[in-house]
Structure 1
Amino acid sequence: MTYAEILIRKGKRMAAAYVQAECNTAKAEPSKSPQHLNALLDHLLHPEKPINDQDAIDWCRWLVGGGRSYDDFAANVRQYDNTAMCGLVWTADFVAFRCRTCGISQCMSLCVDCFKFGNHEGHDYNMFKSQAGGACDCGDASVMKESGFCSQHHGANQPKKPVSPPPELMCVAENMVPRIILRLVQHLRVNTVHSSLHIPADQAPERYEKAIEMADRLLKLLHDFSSLGAAMRTVLTKALLDNESYFRLTNVNEDSEYASFMRRSNEFYDDALQSLPNPDPPREFQDCPALTAQLQHRNFLEELVFWMVKYEFPEKLVCLLLKMLPDPEYKEAFTRSFVLHYSRVSMMLVRSSNSDKLSNRVVHVSVQLFSNEELALAMTESLSLLHIMVSSLKNMMTLVLVPMEVNAPSGATGRGHMVVDCSKHVMKNHCYWPLVSDLNNVLSHPPIAYRFMGDNTLLTLWFDFLKMLQGMNLNVRVIGPHIEFEPNTYYASFSGELEASASPMWALVSHTKNGISREFSENTIRHCLRAIREWMEAMGDNSVMVR
């Protein structure tokens, strides 16, 4: 009999107690590995078995408890939850609150309970129904003032509970969680190209939605784990960020049926990477990691972020990744991974057949990351976040450029100037909105706004983008037959001007109110004048010289 068969015959409770003792011994003696647990997981989580097998999920719940029921295990783990933040994640149509008196970031939001148990009497607040989803910021001093924290979340001032749970409590989870995440990754790899779902390849959103639905029970198990508090989130974070275990579990060098499956899954994974190419970056950004053509994932988190983008931000996967944000190490790593995939997000927005839905889901993620000034500034310095955002926005608009058809001054035609075509999908369906929203969000932080206005390369890129909006959708008087249906491109033009041009401008202007900003203001104006001069030259008007 195999190890798995022996343990299965013992029953769930006895088998769970046995593997806990084995894992505890292995933790004390690193040279030993929990062979019986690994054999049982090989059987329960075999990739050829249905991922939504209820019996396998029940086994996982018993195993992680080490012989106790899952409810008893969960209650015990929660005793070691020392997190200072709420972090409740919600989706669209959830009722939440925003307090402008307590908010440091304009995007802060509170769940009903945290608002109710906080002191907001006499404050400037409003209740709203979330359109894109969100997460509760109570306890996060980088987003809201500590005076607005509720009685349950006191941030850094919260009485500290025991930091670390006893080793025997979490030892099975530490060995199990990487295998459960691997099973999810295997499923995502195979079903991005596999035909077993009986859905045509050209119906990608439906195929992706079905694949996520098939993994519902496994995703719920991971959701339940993340809800147990800081102790379990630490285990999940370690599994998601461990480069060594990711390489070992995804690269199996042996002669077996399982190894053959993993080699096929790696091929599917490589095909998926090739299907989501990056636009060619400007020459000056060739060395920017987030704008390079080749993606190289080092751990499970980076690959899961890739699948989140590839599968068009499925709600259950997005919420799982967001529920982990109260862990500081995870939050920084997740933000870094998201920035590295940001330019691919812009391409998915262009491709999507349901850009409104996808836009909301993108902002659901990005608003949680870029509202934190310290984190957004770190991404700006280490990964050139501002350059990625503006470059992605410009690349998106480049796809819909047309010559400007109008008689310019001095008898020129204006054909040297290219403008966006407001009848195209990108403009008509506001595909650019998430990128502009994110840009406005990061520009709300003064240090980042000053970096924007002080960077000559970035300002050149930005004003080159703005020139694409100058002269778009011109009104032309037509004399002749009656036009039965007036085009509605004027709405796309108006929205583009307001959202993509005016809003970032006012975000920058809001920081130019003191002596510190004078040199940045002057630098921005110089670039603006240069752009005006170049635009006029492209229009064929050399009579006006702007210095």
Structure 2
Amino acid sequence: MSSSTEFDSLLRKGKKVASSLVLTQCSKLQDKHESPLLSQFCDFLLDPRKNISDNEIIDWLRWIISVGMTPEEFATEGKYLAFIHCLLCLHHLKDTIRRLPVALSGQQISWPTDAGLVEYPHGHDFNMFRSQAGGACDCGDASVMKESGFCVRHEPKPNETKPQPPRDLLCVAKAIMPRMFLRLVIQLRRNSPDCLKEVDGFITSILNHLTEMGAAMRKVICEVMTDPKVYSSLVNNCDSTDLEITDMLVERRASYLLAKRRMNNFNPPSSFHNFCSVCHRDRCVIKAFDKDFNHTTFVEELLFWTVVYEFPQKLVCFLLNMLPDADYKEAFAEAFVYHYSRISMMLATFRNGDDGITHSNKPSAHDLLSNCVVHVSVQLFSNENLVAKLCEQQHLLHVIIASLRATIEGTEERERNDGILVKSMMQDSKLNKHKVVKCDHYIMKKHSYWPLVSDLNNILTHLPVANLFMSKCDLIELWLEFIMCFQAMNLNEREMNLHVEYENDSYYAAFSAELEICATPMWTLISHLKDTSSAAMTKQLVLHTQRCLDKWFVLLPFTEKDVPHAYQATFHIPLHRYYAIFLHHGVQHQGLKLHEMLPSDEAKLKLYLAHPLQVQISFAEIMCGLWVRNGLQMKGQAMTYIQCHFCNSLVDPDMFLIQQCASLLSPDWFIQTTLERFHVWEWLSLSHTNDERDFHGEFLESDQVMPMLEYALTFLAMLFSLRTNLGMDEETIVRQEMVTLLAMSDRTHSQLTDLLPEKCGTSQNKEFESTLQEIADYRGPTLESGGNLSQGMFSPKPEIWEQEYDPLHVFLRAVHRRDFQSSIDRFSQYVRQSGKLKDKISHPWPPFRIPKDPDTNKFLDPRKLLYSKVLHGVLFTILYKALHVCEVTEQVLSLTVFLLEMALAYPCPNEQSLARKMTGLTRSNSTVSDQKYGDWFHGDSILENMNTLVETVVINKKVSNSVVEEMEVDFNTTDDDDDDDDNYTEYMSEEEDSSGQQVSDFEIEPAPQTPQLPSSTVHLALPAPPTDRSDMQIVPSTQNNVESSGTSSRQSLIVSDGASTHSAPVVEPSGSGSQSISNNIMVPFIPSAIRTYFRRNDSKLQRRKV
């Protein structure tokens, strides 16, 4: 039948007759030749000049394929339905989806509710969400979930005993399918948004209708879509008997070639070639980066148009609907990797209007596009075997990392993508050669990178892929070079004069980038490093991170002699955190030796320490109001730094790195450096002995000194006592975090689960429920006065307050200072209610706890730093000033005493005898300089230094012009002549302490095997206060001896201005009694001296330690 007259006659006979004739002809030819009748029908129905989604044309196609039956009969043929049962159901835009977490770290499966109407996964913990881009559920995909878990609509495998479909059933479909896809491609080559409506109708009405028939029809479709011969024989032929059609085909082909040229792509920079092991020095041989890419199958070109049209929903869903076919899935995945670099450029350059932050709940166009891309990639990259093959053959890891780098760093084709890197202004901007991301760029603000990061994290959840990444040095170098772009991003310059007019909110983008780009892949990799078998990979990661850090220091440039800029602040040092976390994990879990991976030379240790320490100082400055002119966004940064979703990735590794580096450095150097950089060193000088309200330092005002001193001492206390990364197991850490949360406030179950610090979703708290029962009491829901039902709450058990409540850890985790204060108030309430504090007015000091010993077989003990002459001199000075110079806050005093208590409880590393007793005072050098604490004491032992007499302190004139003053106190005096209240004794007398018992209110319980405290006959040396200048007469000093027999004697603290040294005579104050001024207040026990301070301010205020 060749004439048009005969064909028109056949059309008039009806669709059923035409379908039967086509079937007869196709059955006889048996795929050897094309059916002439079918070819005529294709030319007529699939004419590119006609509307592709015309209902009459769609109906004709469905009848032709139905092989003599009606379309309904063909679709519902019972004996073949069981065989062609659906293996994967589709979910569309705004469908409700259940997502189930699976055992693999970071992996999840999706489950549409319509599949669940028959049988959804009872007993599983699933989350429901509204699909934003469509996709496919994973039920039926044995590579993602076990076959035993398939629902009744998704049987595991076709049963081989079921009858095979007759050959004639699908012969017409096999013959017509190539022409149908050719028509679809020609329509898409119009490259016009208007054609999408027609394409959507064609896909919905005919292609999806065919795929719903099941696996047999789907197999036919997939074979056509993945056959290169079928594609090349059709799309490259523009010849037609109709010249109008020929011209149209030529025009459409030109449009297709133009679209390929216009699609954004990039050539990896030359630096990529240097690192990439699969690239040559002059060019990249990875197929995905080919400048001129050629399509060889229908699936490749359809995916190309999917990218061009920005992932239209109908086309995406059709392509995903074929994924149950293994051969198609592999071909589609290869095509996706082939186009991956183009997709990344599309996401990076897609802007769609205003770049500003929208306040609407409706997802932006960019978010919808990103979701569409991820819904495609997640279906492909959840299959471990497939992803491993893509990484080996298509270099998927290299492609994703290169695409991420091109998004951030830009490409060599500068007219297309300049990147978002800018010159870093850290330290000396003129010398700095480092480039850092621009956080206020729309790529950072709109998170244009997140689909790429999501794909990287997804494939890294597969052990073979993670092992490939960590075993290839080129991939590690590529990644760490990329991470370096985020080192010191969002650098803040402190405003000194006027308040900023516009507060930049770019810090949101900075913290999101560090968490998503830097931290999440790191934790995903760590989840695979479980034992000694992978220790070599961990060590390699640590060494590569060290090299990258060294390179960054060179680019700044920054040496061990440099100090971070005091007026700059950044919370982002991801390279340091990579180094700290991999170092800790290797030592804690994989048997690596700490000394093999920490720098051995002092210079490099100081380098690695500098910036994590600066982050702590910046945090303290912000919380103390030094950055107030920069706006509230600075406080937002500080609060985000310790927030529960960030703390495991930010503050915890920072503190761990400081602990380990500082433990290998000189304690005196570290303590002095810390206090200098906290800007309180100047205040600690003895030259500042007048009204502290008049204090004006080089960096701090008078009202800023105490808050900064509090933060400095708190930092030191946390540094010595934190054990989170010093050998604690995961269960103990979770318990500590739960106690901390409950100490701040009573919590609901959901609040506890949401607020527990996490490692980017990789940790699973298996012991959560049992731990909660051990530490908390549950208070059931109650009906409030307004008729509302309040939720049930958990509160700490009484023994938790006594045994496990740790104020320092609460301080570390308290986003708001009021959270920390709330925990202190709740503790005070507990001790009153339990009868442990009878005084209803006074407030107990925080119950700071002597820390447990860390695992010293693996890690260094930071308490070594407690044995520092500088630290002892600083604590000495604080106590002296608290007693005699100025008011010092309770927090400073409590921390000072706690540091002393820790020093007493921790055995001196150089002490051979733990129970060595002292029998008398020791002398420092006859003359020592102010704040030269190394000269004040002979050794590092806290017991010796508490018993050392400092005779003369020389003050530099440049520091102070104050008049020289003499201070003497009678050793045996029991009165405080400067105080109006004579009803109490200022210092503990020898008679009070002769029994060897300590005052119960101030008892400090030493740890086992600690040095014994000095007896009551051994005096501790604290200088007395200066008397009023007007009562002073300067005379030469004549008193130079100390009687150690315990008899009354007088000594002078001789303070010199650096030019001459003087001593003052004893000045008898008016009134009864006498006061002797000396350089040493003889105090048998430190808390007794502290008690004096409180009695001076409030006779009822005493310290009671619970």
TM-score higher than 0.5:
yes
Task: Give, in whole Å, the separation in 2 of the partners of 1:537 and 1:83.
Answer: 64
Deviations 1:487-511, CA, capped at 9 Å, x for gaps: 1111111111111111111111111
Cα distance, 1:139 vs structure 2? 2.7
Aligned residue in 2 for 1:406: 425
Report the CA distance between 1:259 and its aligned residue: 2.8
Q: Percent identity at matched positions?
A: 39
Q: Name the residue aligned to 1:17.
A: 20
**Alpha-carbon distance change, 227 to 11 in structure 1, aligned in 2, over 3 angstroms:** same
TM-score, length-scaled by structure 1: 0.91
Summarize the alignment of residues 412-431 of structure 1 with structure 2, pairs less than 5 Å apart: 413=430, 415-431=432-448
Q: How does 1:27-42 map to 2 (within 5 A)?
A: 27=30, 30=32, 32-42=33-43
Q: Distance in 2 between matches of 1:123 and 1:154?
A: 19
Cα separation, partners in 2 of 1:33 and 1:86, compared to 1, 3 Å: closer
Could you tell me which residue of structure 2 aligns to residue 287 of structure 1?
Answer: 285
Assess if the C-alpha contact under 8 Å between 2:238 and 2:250 holds in 1: no
**Structure 1 residue 515 displacement after superposition:** 2.0
The equivalent of 1:380 in structure 2 is 391
The structure that is helix-richer by fraction is 1
Amino acid at match of 1:539: L
* 2:144 partner SS: coil
Indicate conservation of the 8 Å contact 1:412/1:540, yes or no: no
| Contact 2:424 2:434 (C-alpha < 8 Å) held by counterparts | no
Closer/same/farther in 2, CA of residues 247 and 104 from structure 1, 3 Å limit? same
Range moving further from structure 2, 291-300 or 109-118: 109-118
Aligned with residue 394 of structure 1, among 400, 405, 430: 405
Question: How far 1:436 moved relative to its partner?
Answer: 0.3
1:135-214 aligned within 5 A: 135-156=136-157, 159-160=159-160, 162=162, 164-192=164-192, 207=193, 210-214=194-198
TM-score, with structure 2 as normaliser: 0.46
Q: Deviation per CA, 1:453-473, whole angstroms, max 9, x where unpaired?
A: 111111111011101111211
- Tell me the distance in 2 between the aligned counterparts of 1:67 and 1:39: 18
Question: What amino acid sits opposite 1:265 in the alignment?
Answer: R
Moved more, 60-69 or 247-256: 247-256
Say which SS state the counterpart of residue 110 (structure 2) adopts: coil
Contact 1:80-1:163 at 8 Å conserved across structures: no
Q: Is 1:77–1:231's contact at 8 Å kept on the other side of the alignment? A: no
Equivalent position SS for 2:439: coil
Task: Call closer, same or farther: CA 1:310–1:233 in 2, change over 3 Å.
Answer: same
Between 119-128 and 378-387, report the one with greater CA deviation.
119-128
Further displaced range: 254-263 or 359-368: 254-263
How far does the alpha carbon of each residue in 1:418-456 deviate from its partner, in whole angstroms, 9 at most, with x for none? 111112121111010000001100011111111111111
- Following the alignment from structure 1 to structure 2, what is the Cα–Cα distance between the partners of residues 397 and 168? 55
- 1:434 and 2:430 correspond: no
Q: Please list, as runs of the form range in 1=range in 2, the aligned pairs for 1:471-490 lying within 5 A after superposition.
A: 471-490=488-507
Within 5 Å, which residues of 2 pair with 1:228-243? Answer: 228-243=213-228
Aligned counterparts of 1:260 and 1:458: Cα–Cα separation in 2: 49
Secondary structure of the equivalent of 1:296?
Answer: coil
- Tell me the CA shift for residue 351 of structure 1: 2.0
- Does residue 360 of structure 1 match 2:344? no
Pairing 1:462-541 to 2, within 5 Å after superposition: 462-541=479-558
Superposition deviation, residue 541 in structure 1: 1.4
Once the two structures are superposed, what CA deviation does each residue of 1:393-440 show, in whole Å capped at 9, x if it has no partner? 0000013333334242xx464631111111212111101000000110
Report the CA distance between 1:262 and its aligned residue.
1.9
Which residue does 1:73 correspond to in 2? 74
Moved more, 19-28 or 90-99: 90-99
Q: Deviations over 1:157-205 (max 9, x none)?
A: x63464742121111111111111111110111134xxxxxxxxxxxxx
**How much has 1:102 moved relative to structure 2?**
7.2
Matches within 5 A, 1:86-101: 86-100=87-101
Aligned mates of 1:61, 1:92 — CA distance in 2: 26
Separation in structure 1 between the aligned mates of residue 463 and residue 371 of structure 2, nearest angstrom: 26
- Report the equivalent of 2:232: 247
Instruction: Classify 1:84/1:438 alpha carbon distance in 2 versus 1 (closer, same or farther; 3 Å).
Output: farther
Opposite residue 183 of structure 2, the aligned amino acid is R
What's the secondary structure of 2:189's corresponding residue? helix
Report the AA paired with residue 217 of structure 1.
Answer: G
Per-residue deviation, 1:226 = 1.1
Structure 1 residue 253: Cα displacement? 5.5
More off after superposition, 51-60 vs 88-97 = 88-97
| Structure 2 equivalent of residue 201 of structure 1 | none
Q: 1:538 to 1:149 in 2, by over 3 A?
A: same
Match of 1:262 in 2: 249
Say whether 1:451 aligns with 2:488. Answer: no
| Alpha-carbon separation, structure 2, partners of 1:103 and 1:151 | 25
Query: Cα 1:78–1:232, aligned 2, differ >3 Å: closer, same or farther?
Result: farther
Partners of 2:385 and 2:439 lie apart in 1 by 37
CA distance in 2 between counterparts of 1:359 and 1:466 reads: 22
Cα–Cα, structure 1 residues 233 and 414, in superposed 2: closer, same or farther, change >3 Å?
A: farther
Give yes or no for contact 2:288–2:399 (8 Å, CA) kept in 1. yes
Question: Rg: which structure is higher?
Answer: 2
My pick for the range that moved more, 362-371 or 279-288, is: 279-288
Describe the superposition over 1:101-160 as per-residue Cα deviations: whole angstroms up to 9, x where unpaired.
67797221222254465584443333333344332212322212334222343424x634
Q: Which residue of 2 aligns with 1:199?
A: none
1:413 touches 1:539 (CA, 8 Å); kept in 2? no
Amino acid paired to 1:401: I
2:461/2:524 contact within 8 Å kept: yes
Alignment RMSD (CA, Å): 2.3
Alignment of 1:290-301 (within 5 A): 290-301=288-299
Kindly tell me: are residues 104 and 42 of structure 1, through their superposed partners in 2, closer, same or farther at Cα, counting changes over 3 Å?
Answer: farther
Q: Which amino acid aligns with 2:62?
A: R
- Say whether residues 1:460 and 2:477 are aligned partners: yes
- Report if the CA contact (8 A) 1:370-1:442 is conserved: yes
8 A contact 2:477–2:544 mirrored in 1 = yes
Structure 2 residue 347 is the aligned partner of structure 1 residue 330: no
Structure 2: give runs of 5+ residues left out of the alignment: 353-364, 411-418, 561-602, 609-1106
Aligned mates of 2:131, 2:20 — CA distance in 1: 44
Structure 1: runs of 5+ lacking an equivalent:
193-206
Residues in 2 aligned to 1:37 and 1:16: alpha-carbon distance in whole angstroms = 9
Aligned length: 526
CA distance in 2, matches of 1:179, 1:536: 62
Task: Give the distance between the partners of 1:495 and 1:112, measured in 2 at CA.
Answer: 32
Matched, 1:219 2:230: no
Report SS of the residue matched to 1:191.
coil
Q: Deviations over 1:3-56 (max 9, x none)?
A: 54233122211111111111111216x1x3211111121111111112222211
Deviations 1:29-88 (A, max 9, x none): x1x321111112111111111222221111101111122211111112882554687311
Aligned partners of 2:439 and 2:510 also within 8 Å: yes
Measured after TM superposition, the shift of residue 244 of structure 1 is: 1.4
Distance 2:11 2:222 in 1: 29
Cα deviation digits, residues 197-254 of structure 1 (max 9, x gap): xxxxxxxxxx3xx321122221111111111101110110111012112111112264
